[in-house]
Structure 1
Amino acid sequence: MQRAVADSLRIVLESAVAEGAFPGGYAVVGTREGIVAEYGAGRLDSADASRPTAQTVWDLASLTKVVATTSAVMQMVATGAIALDTPVVRYLPEWTAPVAAGVTVRHLLSHHAGLPAWRALYKEAETPEEAWRLVLATPLDTVPGVRFVYSDLGFILLGRLVERISGEPLAEYGPRHVFDPAGMRDTRYLPPASWRGRTAPTEQDPWRQRKLRGEVHDENAARLGGASGHAGLFSTATDLARFARLYLNGGRLDGRQVLDSAMIRQFTTVQNPTVSLRALGWETPTGRNSAGQRLSRRAFGHTGFTGTSLWMDPERNLFVVLLTNRVNPTRQNSRIGAVRSRLADAVSAAMSGTPPDASPGQ
């Protein structure tokens, strides 16, 4: 099995590099017990021929939403510091936008809050404080609970909620309460300059007029100071493999209980199927997303704009991490979508011993 999984990683990643889906990428596959196979392909950049390794640092983009923010909220719900069905304004009374009083923490986590998907904060504001005021002032598009709209604004609010309840900056909460206890030493907001040499460059950014390396790609996260609930986290394949094992092991790793097992089950369960198949923070398989066609209904995962993705399947005891810099040199490259689902299907087939071209039921 190990050889088959390793071969599937090599074939999918090398093919993706050849097709121009990304300059470089690294994938790691494993179970709750440990890593089964991993593989790096391509190069970090046209000006850096280094092959990606398990220690390459990647801009996670929206994986931040689940790795950092969702995990933090989960911890706070477990302790009773936050209640899922409490209105967000109870915790953030300064959020006085029309109809905001009807939005609960659960609505924000499942993207059912009625907020718009995005706002160009970085163009409208000059400081983090100004950007935050714009978030608070942005009106809802619909009433809460009736429509799914994947919203960065909702997770910006959740990141601020974590700070308000914990009394700690977001950039400090994650390492102290989630990453360091899980043995994730290379997962941080605002990575130090010493990491730059092993960090995959992202885009030749049209706004900042420079190629970004070790600096958050997401413009709104940059305007908010580099650490936000929706983006800004950097990590490695080694660390995300540990994170995946943490979730698959019910929140426990190397003898330390970091997350509550009952909370993991609750947060990875579809919340309101009449609106969407979203869990709390997490995606679940839809047959059309990056989970591919073979993961079980209990699987959960997420993607990131820069070319990252993470899927875990507790029923099949499987995780798949894919880290790439597909926005290098430009975000106009959209080939990553097919690669994600192809990788998930190839790995699932290899782990189960099923021919790659056979349907899951065969």
Structure 2
Amino acid sequence: MIFNHVIMPKKHFITFLYILINSLCINAQLQYATPESVGLDTNYIQTKVDSIMAQGIQQQAFPGAQLLVAKQGNIIFHQAYGYHTYDSIQKVSLDDVYDLASVTKIIGPLPALMKLYEEGKLDLDVPFSTYWKPWRHRKDKKDITLRELLAHQSGLQPYIIFLKEVLRKDHLKKRFARNHISKRFPYEAYPGIFINHRFKKKAYRMITRSKVNDKKEYLYSGLASLIYPQLIEDITGTYYVTYLQSHFYTPLGCHTLGYLPAKKDFKNNIVPTEMDSIFRKQLTKAWVHDENAALFGGISGNAGLFSTAKDLATFMQMYMQKGEYAGKHYFKKETVNMFIKVQYPENENRRGLGFDKPLLGNDTLNLKKAYPAPQVSPDSFGHAGFTGTFVWADPQNELVFIFLSNRVYPSRTHRNIYNLNIRPALQQVFYMTQKTKG
């Protein structure tokens, strides 16, 4: 790059230099660097993270985990801890693939919805029934908007356990599940378990008939996320997975990010989740843990995505850079700003559109009560997953935080990841280190 010899005031030169550096960061891909390169302290970080991870493994919060942190476009920490299971046979590796659980919501259907909104094909504030016809004649749902759904302000109930419709006394009902694939049973929930093609429509009907709270207040619900993939297909005329792959995952270089990893020729190890004694009756591995997503053939908007930490970091870095990554525009800056903004603060609802946000007044809370770490900026955003995953981006501090674990092994009753505040404590390390330097 060649510049003509130009004399400019110092303050203008500094501004020009900042803009140039910022532009280069946006157009660059994530690179590995040392914490010192961004003003952090390696020894402090290593000591603190090692201690928190060791405690988590000792207290059986998870058998193993990995942490990736990027700052100012540089991956300054990426390490693995422990094993896939408590038998200490398979060590966690940096390229392991994890079941993302509800992190799927912001990496799967949400970017597609954001793009359709940007293209004027979805309106956040008209009734969702404009696009989803089954709700048009439901008094309690016909006026719910997409904004309310994405911000969990609609009053929809949190969850419906569809597995109850498929099981009778721990055995699969032949009406809905068979042991062999066929035209009538095309959706593979797990090896040897195939679901009736009509089941998805039954699930949609159950969502349509589900009760809605009269009072409009924050209530986290995953039901609409089950609908979004079909909605995206209806609007685009493109298979949901193909749409995500062609518009986002492939151009971003996120090669492991996707659904149904068991059907892909990955060299990466896939970390198991729960020892399932009810539905699959064995250790769940390489197939989605969430039962509702499984009954949808493993492809759903509420769960089903798998990924490495690096691919997740790339996606979150793109979000943090307001829709730009490696010289390519995925969204307009205004679109990202709209979706990461708190939508209903007057209702004490912290949520953005699809994205989770810090608790309102989070910076006034101690670590035990805060979510996530008290030091994150109000502009930050992300999402957690039931299996023990957590992703967060903080534009103000230029920091992406990726934590992956299988805390549901061997059972979802293991809750020490929450009791010990593992993830907020780890996140806090990368804010506190700046204060301890020098």
Q: Partner residue of 1:353?
A: 435
Q: 1:69 aligns with which of 105, 109, 115?
A: 109
- Counterpart residue number, 2:237: 167
User: 2:41 & 2:76 partners in 1: Cα distance?
Assistant: 6
- Alpha-carbon deviation of 1:234? 0.4
Pick one of 224, 243, 247 that aligns with 1:177: 247
Residue 134 of structure 1 is matched in structure 2 by 203
Counting only pairs closer than 5 Å after superposition, residues 72-221 of structure 1 correspond to structure 2 as: 72-95=112-135, 96-125=137-166, 126=176, 127=196, 129-136=198-205, 137-143=208-214, 146-191=216-261, 192-195=263-266, 198-206=269-277, 207-221=279-293
Between the aligned partners of 1:120 and 1:314, the Cα distance in structure 2 is: 37
Q: In 2 relative to 1, CA 128–114 (structure 1 residues): closer, same or farther, beyond 3 Å? A: farther
Aligned partners of 2:392 and 2:401 also within 8 Å: yes
Structure 1 residue 123 displacement after superposition: 1.9
Alpha-carbon contact 1:122-1:131 (below 8 Å) kept: no
Residue pair 2:95, 2:268 contacting (<8 A) in 1 also = no
Secondary structure of the 2:124 match is: coil
2:83/2:91 contact within 8 Å kept: yes
Give the root-mean-square deviation of aligned CA atoms. Answer: 1.9
Q: Quick one: distance in 2 between partners of 1:91 and 1:279?
A: 21
Cα offset for 1:203?
0.3
* Alpha-carbon separation, structure 1, partners of 2:311 and 2:197: 29
Secondary structure at the counterpart of residue 353 of structure 1: helix
Q: Number of matched residues?
A: 353
Query: What percent of counterpart residues are identical?
Result: 30
Say whether the 8 Å CA contact 1:28–1:37 is kept in structure 2: yes
Deviates most, 225-234 or 156-165? 156-165
In the alignment, what sits opposite 1:343?
A: 426
SS in 1 for 2:66: strand
Higher mean C-alpha displacement, 74-83 vs 38-47: 38-47
Instruction: Mark the runs of 5 or more structure 2 residues left unpaired by the alignment.
Output: 1-39, 167-175, 177-195, 363-368
Distance 1:92 1:113, change over 3 A: same
SS in 2 for 1:100: coil
Can you list the C-alpha shifts for 1:117-141, whole angstroms capped at 9, x where unaligned? 0001122152353244333333232
SS of residue in 2 equivalent to 1:302: strand
Measure, in 2, the Cα distance between the counterparts of 1:18 and 1:232. Answer: 29
The amino acid that maps onto 2:198 is: E
SS in 1 for 2:157: coil
Deviation at 1:98, TM superposition (A): 3.6
Q: Is residue 140–residue 212 contact of structure 2 (8 Å, CA) maintained in 1?
A: no
Distance (Å, rounded) in 1 between the aligned partners of 2:291 and 2:325: 34
With structure 1 as the length reference, what TM-score do the two structures score?
0.92
Question: 2 CA distance for matches of 1:8 and 1:72?
Answer: 38
Query: Partners of 1:31 and 1:259 in 2: how far apart?
Result: 21
Q: Which runs of 4+ in 1 moved over 4 A?
A: none
Would the alpha carbon gap of residues 326 and 182 (structure 1) be closer, same or farther in structure 2, given more than 3 Å must change?
same
CA distance in 1, matches of 2:220, 2:322: 27
Unpaired runs of at least 5, structure 1: 356-362
Q: In structure 2, what residue type is equivalent to 1:353?
A: K
SS for the counterpart of 1:294 is coil
